[in-house]
Amino acid sequence: MSSSGLPRGSKYKNRVSSGSFMTASTYPLCQEWKQKVENCLHLSELEEIRVHLLGKSGLITAELKTLGQLSHEERKTKGSEINAVRDYLSSLLTHKKSELEQKALEFRLTTEALDITLPIRPEKKGKLHLLTQVIQDIQNYFRDLGFQIVEGHEIDDDYHNFDALNIPAHHPARQNHDTFYIKDHPLRLLRTHTSTAQIRTLETQKPPLRIISIGRVYRSDALDATHTPMFHQLEGLVLEKNTHMGHLKGCLTDFCRHFFNVDDIKARFRPSFFPFTEPSGELDINCSREDGQLKIGIGNNWMEILGCGMVHPNVLKNCDINPDEYQGFAFGVGIERLTMLKYRLPDIRALYESDERWLNHYGVGSVAL
């Protein structure tokens, strides 16, 4: 076979042996190209070989063109030889092609697959802060009793923080609220208690209702082991037609039992004064302080927990509610104080210091950061 049909510039140029066809597989050209096809690693290279052998300007076509110069007899033999070689090469190429395609597929499957057995990279996980845990617990408890959870306003005004709650200007009780006023807005302030949420709710909703509201309050107070200028309060309000002090006592005693996880906690309601409740009381629960260790729910000492009372008729009137039709009770309690008692924390400031060791110790669960 001549090499006249070789495309110019091909890397296979001048590699074709000459000779006459015997059987296709034993023919030297076939032997040589069989090797090349077998050694071929890429589909693109295989395609190059195919074009070089079987393409329009390939070797086989060139060979077929030489047939015209031969005698009838020679043409017959040589023609069938060339066809046999062509079929042989073409089946070699087809086999190799499917082999390479299969390999390429396997390669993609192994390299592109997501290895889900790999461990994830370690990442920092947060935990729920102790105050958040306490707030969630309280919310869940009251939600189960049919209380609605409402939001108040952290920046509020004189009216909602004082006047509407029956604490008019110059009322002596106002002096106890060391209030932060907003500069250049004398009537705007950071609320000093969550009782503002009572007014905000009663302005838009009418009784019967049961609500709690938890949020930050601000007082220009000392910063020491038991005081911070900002802390959280829980406010509760129940207004229904027949609500009386027995409900107040039962509701708050049960809450303390739940919160401190003590079944037979003793509760004492001590008379007190708040302008927005009448009568008003403070709730004490029993505790023991033996060996300097505070234990809630055992012993004969008392621990003040919260302020409460029956909603003052003036507060109801201020919100257009007829005090002869609806009555109810309200209570307010510091979340930090409850937390410190339950977890026996000696210093309130630990709650805000963001010391990772402390946070890890008291935090629970895990939350993505």
Query: Which residues form the interface with ligand PHE (CB under 6 A)?
Result: 193, 195, 274, 277, 307-309, 330-332
Distance in Å, CB of 200 to ligand PHE, minimum: 14
Distance in Å, CB of 233 to ligand PHE, minimum: 6
Among residues 195 and 318, whose Cβ is nearest to ligand PHE?
195
**8-state DSSP, 119:** P
DSSP letters spanning 170-218:
T-HHHHTS---EETTEEEEEE-SSTTHHHHHHHHH--SSEEEEEEEEEE
Block residue for tokens 């510091």: 334
How many helices (H) does the chain have, and how many strands (E)?
A: 12, 13
Distance in Å, CB of 114 to ligand PHE, minimum: 56
Closest CA to 211 of 187, 233, 235: 235
Distance in Å, CB of 332 to ligand PHE, minimum: 3
Q: Please name the amino acid found at residue 30.
A: C
**8-state DSSP, 353:** S
Q: In sequence order, what are the beta bridge partners of 126?
A: 367
Distance in Å, CB of 362 to ligand PHE, minimum: 26
DSSP letters spanning 292-350:
G--EETSSSEEEEEEEEEEEPHHHHHHTT--TTT-EEEEEEEEHHHHHHHHHT-S-GGG
Among residues 90 and 272, whose Cβ is nearest to ligand PHE?
272
Distance in Å, CB of 212 to ligand PHE, minimum: 11
Among residues 190 and 330, whose Cβ is nearest to ligand PHE?
330
Among residues 106 and 151, whose Cβ is nearest to ligand PHE?
151
From residue 13, how far is each of 5, 7, 134 by CA, in Å?
Answer: 10, 7, 84
Among residues 44 and 175, whose Cβ is nearest to ligand PHE?
175
Among residues 330 and 335, whose Cβ is nearest to ligand PHE?
330
